[in-house]
Structure 1
Amino acid sequence: MAAETSFWKTKTLAQMNQREWESLCDGCGRCCLQKLLDDETEEVFYTRVICRYLDKDRRCGCYETRHIKVPECVWLKPEDVEQFHWLPATCSYRLIAEGKELPDWHPLVSGRRDSLVDAGIAVTCQQLVKDDEVPEDDWQEHIIQWVEQ
């Protein structure tokens, strides 16, 4: 990739325009997995339970209205960067916030949208169940142990 297109190396999250901000998302879908929080340790556990609106291409089927259809859907904003600890360690927003490089499989680096599938990062590499198919009380039975890349 040309240096002029590597905006994530020269700008903070707060300095990025909307197009740049949105392009940071690698499309893995991990943030669309239901998560459980240990109240004592504040550790976040990801489950195989996925938002019912995420499609097979790891895109939100109601992106523009997601906060109406799913009020608990988290809206990532630069001003909330201090709270990004719950995002997976592979998440671009978290990596940039922590001053780290984007991995080679990130679409902005590789130039390929599906390079994260090849790397095993995408949620579609897991056996998933939609959140409207599993009672919330049973989510703990679907915890995923990620092998971070």
Structure 2
Amino acid sequence: MPSEIIINCSKVIADHGWNIAFAESASAGRLSAEFSLTEHSGKILRGGITCYEVFVKEQILHVRRSLIETYTPESPEVTRELAERTAYIFNSDITVALTGLTTPGGSESSEKPVGTIFLYIMTPLGDVSRREVFSGSQEEIVLQAADMAAALIHDKIR
């Protein structure tokens, strides 16, 4: 069952008559799945793409290799590019892109530890960029990120 903030966010999106799409790297489709479980999913959910591997970011979403090499796949710059490309593909009113590190083995560092999540959210009322460091298991990090995305959308458009 989705969290209360995801349920409330879905209702606000539906009340505006808007839709939502997702580009998900670290969350691998979990945000789309959480929003699909709300009563308003049929009205709001446009779709999403899981772009866990760099290949998908580059070949499907056409994120420039130079951007990924300069900033890493888990960065605000790449996350923004993912949101912009996804908004175009899905013709979405609201677009959420999420990258980050939920397990060791990516581009983690002392400045970007495991648990770091980057969000870029595009809405008709303006964009939101956020970097947050969560703790917990891989699933707990992803669910915290999903709730944060929903809260940021809700606060921006209500």
Q: TM-score, normalised by structure 1?
A: 0.28
In terms of Rg, which structure is larger? 1
The structure in which a higher percent of residues are strand is: 2
Q: Pick the structure with more helix per residue.
A: 2
Structure showing greater relative contact order (alpha-carbon pairs closer than 8 Å, 6 or more residues apart): 1
